[in-house]
Amino acid sequence: MKVVLLGATKGMGRAVARKFAERGDSIFLLGRDQDELERSALDLENRGARQRIEYGFCDLLQPRSFEPGLAQAWETLDGVDAVVVTAGIFGAQEDLEVRDAHAARVLTADFTSTVLFCEVARKRLLEDGGGTLCVFSSVAGDRGRSKVVLYGAAKAGLSAYLEGLDHRYRRAGLRTVCVKPGFVRTAMTADLDAPPFACDPETIAPRVVRAIDRGTPVVYVPGIWRWVLLAIRMLPRFAMRRIDF
Ligand SMILES: NC(=O)c1ccc[n+]([C@@H]2O[C@H](COP(=O)([O-])OP(=O)(O)OC[C@H]3O[C@@H](n4cnc5c(N)ncnc54)[C@H](OP(=O)(O)O)[C@@H]3O)[C@@H](O)[C@H]2O)c1
């Protein structure tokens, strides 16, 4: 498989990229930091990648970088089967309420920019007859929650976009995979207390790769979150107000 990843220099994206490298898939990395990209490419080459790992510039907060970045990926790999987006930023609610500029960055990166990036990738995949677009949303988008009002709203919008895309283009050959992680220990969550079911990126990576191979429309990682969120989504609002979730 020929895979492009945006956000694979750290965390879950890096763990997923390592899985692809270990089984010999062709990889192109997109990211904003040249040094991080170089380090990540070397790491993947040392983990059994069959060929040299190339990379290119793409900053989620600079939409003008999307088309050139993806064009470079397409040209280097001579076509692409899957685009994986794990890039994103987090902001705790208390922090975002006092830092307007950061709140704007989180909302822009996690919704508007991610959607615009996906639109460019989607058009390219469909032009080639189809492929897989795998994007990391979050369980935080499944229900409005007091601890993640803004981040959760951005992820809710992203999940809705991905579902709409799936309904609109699956028959044309575009397989949309929306990944909804629970709490995963990465740089993003380093300052937060780990709740029950917290896990490491390596635990969720095989499940994500399997979902990409199968074209599963929605995948909770780890799987237990599917059942937790099923229950949470059914809770009446007065009960949601009472529980500390
Ligand atoms: N960790 C969790 O518990 C959790 C839970 C639910 C959902 N998620 C979602 O899962 C995804 C991956 O999270 P993670 O925990 O693996 O995050 P992470 O370890 O913080 O890694 C984030 C990745 O995004 C890249 N990135 C950030 N801003 C970017 C920008 N402006 N342009 C390009 N790349 C950018 C980073 O690149 P640099 O190396 O340049 O920083 C890094 O590779 C995110 O969408 C996150 O919202 C995470």
pLDDT, tens digit (0-9, with 9 covering 90-100), for 34-84: 999 999 999 999 998 788 999 999 999 999 999 999 999 999 999 999 999
For residue 8, the ligand 1 atom closest to its alpha carbon is 43
Mean pLDDT to the nearest integer, 7-13? 98
Residue whose Cα lies nearest atom 22 of ligand 1: it is 87
Torsional class of 215: left (φ above 0), alpha (ψ -120 to 50), beta (otherwise): left
pLDDT at 51: 85
Mean pLDDT of the region 157-162: 98
- If residue 122 lies in a helix (H) or strand (E), which one and from where to where? helix 114-127
What CATH number was assigned to the domain covering residues 2-242? Answer: 3.40.50.720
- Report, as residue numbers or ranges, the catalytic residues: 151
d(CA 187, CA 45): 23
Instruction: Give the torsion sign (CA, 229, 230, 231, 236).
Output: positive
Question: How many angstroms separate the alpha carbon of residue 14 from the centre of ligand 1?
Answer: 10
pLDDT, tens only, 99-123: 999 999 999 999 999 999 999 999 9
> How close is the Cα of 195 to the center of ligand 1, in Å?
19
DSSP 170: G
Residue 245 has pLDDT above 80, yes or no: no
